[in-house]
Structure 1
Amino acid sequence: MNKPVAVDVENAAPVAAPETALPGTSSTSPPSAGPAYVVLGGISFSHFLNDTMQSLIPSVYPILKANYALDFAQIGLITLAFQFTASLLQPVIGAFTDKRPQPFSLAIGMSSTFLGLLLLSIAHSYAVILIAAAMIGLGSAVFHPESARIARLASGGRFGMAQSVFQVGGNAGTALGPLLAALIVVPFGQPSIAWFSTIAFLAILVLWRIGVWYKPLVAARKVVAKPHPHAPGRRRVLAALVVLVALLFSKHMYMASLSSYYTFYLIEKFHVSTQTAQLFLFIFLASVAAGVFFGGPLGDRFGRRYVIWFSILGALPFTLALPYVGLTASAVLTMFIGFILASATSAIIVFAQELVPHRLGMISGLFFGFAFGIGGVGAAALGEFADRYGIDVVYQICSFLPALGLLAVLLPRMPRHAH
């Protein structure tokens, strides 16, 4: 059996490298310093499976809207039900696991997603749809804080890279969801959602194996870090967290406008079919996954402040142009928007973790939870707005949100080792 990662309590960087094989697998190569790639791959794959299932919810909105005669406000409330449970519980769960890490909580939490998918597939009323969405959100609330901690522990000190590997799995799953919906759910209807519960079962198995790897670290109390002695003071840290939250707001509010209503925008403005609109959504979400992948390593290399600055403000020219272009240009612009905005994801999360390294679970849960909450509240608010003023107006107003990227100039410079 391979040795677990030993983590320096002072700086959370590995001091003895792990074998890259999970317990129960074989590896004859000698230990070498660096990330535990198999663990990172496993947690990223689990994130991929988790977010593939989650992305089914917005992907089947056109079907649910037609089957139950829903308006845009009701569609937004489905997103709110899903995002609210994820957003509300994530920081609570993260704070709890900071004090009492739970190695197998990830596998147990995935069971809620498993049951939520089955319930969504057989739902025959709007209330049951809301309950199913909330159960899937609960699974997400359990998954994200502890899995982000595991990604950092397995990083070998390359925190941005590890967070990007973790995040890109989720974004790839988010991108794949609409494509699977177009190929499976649209032709076979709402009951076919139950087929995706097999994905949840696979995720449970993978997460259980990761829990076996993680358990010795918990027993050895190797999962807590202390702030760097040259880190910013308490007030500066609080101010920086407020800035990061504002940047996250601008990013995810705009992302909510695309992930929840982009298909309706294309159908209404360009009269494309539902399947075609979902393919365009897949293109956007795939560009998001690519942006996440490159954002973390660039933050490790050049500094996270610069990546955050570019990734939020850099999308502004493209978002301003989007409401006024044709179908092909819309696809091209959303590719740039998705790539540039998503490159901030890993940098924001890791920057926040480095500001408060002794509260990794709480910080990860807070930021993931806030992102989910903004997505949910934003979707509900934008849905109501779209019902009143039209979907075109939504994108005209949201196009100015990336201007909040100017706030990145207020972020403190972190100790050099953090990059």
Structure 2
Amino acid sequence: MIEEVFLISTQLEATNVHVGLNKGAVWSLSAAHLMNDLMTVGIVPALLPLYKESFHLSYTETGLIVLFSYFASSIMQPIFGYLTDRKPLVWLLPLGVFLSNLGLALTGVAPSFAWLLFFITLSGLGSGAFHPEASRGTHLAAGKAKGFAQAIFQVGGNAGQALGPLMLPLFLLHTGTQGLVWFTLMAIFAFFITWRLLPWYRSRIEQEQRKKRQIEGRNRTSAVILLVLVVILRSWCQIGVAGFLPFFYTHHQIPLSRAELYTFLFLGAGAVATFIGGTLSDRIGKKRLMVASMVLSIPFALIFPRVNGSLAAVTLLAFGFTVLSSFAVTVVYAQMLLPRNIGLASGLMIGFGVGAGGIGATFLGWMADQFGVPVIFNLIVILPVLASLISLWLPNDRELDLRT
């Protein structure tokens, strides 16, 4: 798998697809994305068993934690994206990632469930402010390599999501939720590396504003709605596995540390697939890769709850690789569909995906309370089937104005 990543990177370097690419900015934004998503999308689902035990919660209340985190982020991302398309606010880049990290760190000293939800919401709001500006920065740093740059940016986020479950067996199972306060140091570091980008980012924004009137192409709202539906269904798959797989395996007498390792395999494979999918999409097309991603994930969604041991690990690797390989592609594709609203496009894709995950977590938590955790994994297979059918109705890349 690593060899495939290296081969694709080498092939791309040999072409002119990297013309205008600012690698330093893209990798810095990717690192900030890793820290942001580690503290929100990654570690929050992994922490649910600890939160549930510390505050004596039901499954439904446990799902509310993800809902408050993800929903706050999902609401704010399109709003911030729309507002900053009109007037960019570059300072949201460091402030947003700082708050997303700090809010999660403060949950370690939350005195009650209400305060826990407050700090979780603060973290979600910070993430909502960070993502549109970071995605816009990646777009501006990409040059002609839109898929490749977005893949680097998104693989940072997916790596953060994958590393989240590992924080429990490596650290938090020994310290408890109180150990989360140490992540305040990560908040400071994330602020520093994004603050350093502001002079370059402000300059590129000014250049883009001068060229804005020359942008050609029209927004395709109906296609964006279909794309949002695909992202929502994919997000439900992701949160269903990341949030409830530990409960599923502990129900079968598997230690929590091993259950979190299985979750890491699923999300880690998705992080690798995000990079490969983004780079391949520059060559084979966004729609083609999205359809393949959803269709190929169906058999693994069906198999993984029914196998054990090493076979379960391999199946989860394959499921994560296939279903999450379109992660970067959907953001670039949305920017193609909304060429006049780049920030809004990014906010919709990432924000609605995150928000849908929160709603899905609450619904799945209710299902677990009513019918048991195993039922959830019998329903997940339906989601990529629906996503596959919807993605077939999206316009082909050649129908879009690629000059945008």
Do they superpose with TM above 0.5?
A: yes
For residue 241 of structure 1, the aligned residue among 203, 206, 224 is 224
- The correspondence of residues 82-161 of structure 1 with structure 2, limited to 5 A, is 82-161=69-148
Amino acid across the alignment from 1:41? W
For residue 340 of structure 1, the aligned residue among 301, 322, 333 is 322
Aligned-residue offset at 1:390: 1.0
Q: Unpaired segments of 5 or more residues in structure 1? A: 1-31
**1:223-250 Cα distance to aligned partner (Å, 9 max, x none):** 8657975x5x66xx22311221121122
Tell me, in whole angstroms, the C-alpha distance in 2 between the residues paired with 1:172 and 1:110. Answer: 16
The DSSP-based 3-state class of the residue aligned with 1:124 is coil
For residue 395 of structure 2, the aligned residue among 412, 415, 418 is 412
Aligned-residue offset at 1:409: 2.0
Tell me, in whole angstroms, the C-alpha distance in 2 between the residues paired with 1:227 and 1:319. Answer: 45
For residue 37 of structure 1, the aligned residue among 17, 20, 23 is 23
Which deviates the most, 159-168 or 324-333?
324-333
Aligned to 1:49: 35
Q: Is the 8 A contact 1:172 1:285 kept in 2?
A: yes
Tell me, in whole angstroms, the C-alpha distance in 1 between the residues paired with 2:243 and 2:211. Answer: 37
Tell me, in whole angstroms, the C-alpha distance in 2 between the residues paired with 1:117 and 1:410. Answer: 39
Aligned to 1:258: 241
Q: Is the 8 A contact 1:152 1:163 kept in 2?
A: yes
Q: Is the 8 A contact 2:43 2:164 kept in 1?
A: yes
Q: Is the 8 A contact 2:215 2:340 kept in 1?
A: no
Q: How many residues matched?
A: 383
Compared CA separation, residues 156 and 49, structure 1 to 2 (3 A): same
For residue 156 of structure 2, the aligned residue among 147, 151, 169 is 169
**1:224-283 Cα distance to aligned partner (Å, 9 max, x none):** 657975x5x66xx223112211211221111110111111111112x1111111111111
**1:297-331 Cα distance to aligned partner (Å, 9 max, x none):** 11101111110000012100111122222233222
In the alignment, structure 1 residue 379 sits paired with structure 2 residue 379: no
- The correspondence of residues 6-405 of structure 1 with structure 2, limited to 5 A, is 33-54=19-40, 55-222=42-209, 225=212, 237-269=220-252, 271-404=253-386, 405=388
The DSSP-based 3-state class of the residue aligned with 2:50 is helix
The DSSP-based 3-state class of the residue aligned with 2:397 is coil
**1:144-174 Cα distance to aligned partner (Å, 9 max, x none):** 1111011011112111111100000011111
Amino acid across the alignment from 2:234? K
Q: Is the 8 A contact 2:102 2:187 kept in 1?
A: no
- The alignment's TM-score, normalised by the length of structure 2, stands at 0.90
Compared CA separation, residues 118 and 246, structure 1 to 2 (3 A): closer
Aligned-residue offset at 1:98: 0.5
Aligned to 1:10: none
Which deviates the most, 375-384 or 315-324?
315-324
Amino acid across the alignment from 2:402? A
Q: Percent identity?
A: 33
Amino acid across the alignment from 2:86? K
Compared CA separation, residues 368 and 294, structure 1 to 2 (3 A): same
Tell me, in whole angstroms, the C-alpha distance in 1 between the residues paired with 2:101 and 2:239. Answer: 24
In angstroms, what is the RMSD of aligned CA positions? 1.9
Tell me, in whole angstroms, the C-alpha distance in 1 between the residues paired with 2:269 and 2:184. Answer: 26
Tell me, in whole angstroms, the C-alpha distance in 2 between the residues paired with 1:108 and 1:117. Answer: 14
Tell me, in whole angstroms, the C-alpha distance in 2 between the residues paired with 1:375 and 1:99. Answer: 28
Aligned-residue offset at 1:218: 2.7
Tell me, in whole angstroms, the C-alpha distance in 1 between the residues paired with 2:313 and 2:209. Answer: 46
Amino acid across the alignment from 1:295? G
Compared CA separation, residues 132 and 307, structure 1 to 2 (3 A): same
Compared CA separation, residues 309 and 318, structure 1 to 2 (3 A): same
Which deviates the most, 50-59 or 216-225?
216-225
Aligned to 1:25: none
Aligned-residue offset at 1:222: 4.1
Q: Is the 8 A contact 2:23 2:141 kept in 1?
A: yes
Tell me, in whole angstroms, the C-alpha distance in 2 between the residues paired with 1:223 and 1:254. Answer: 41
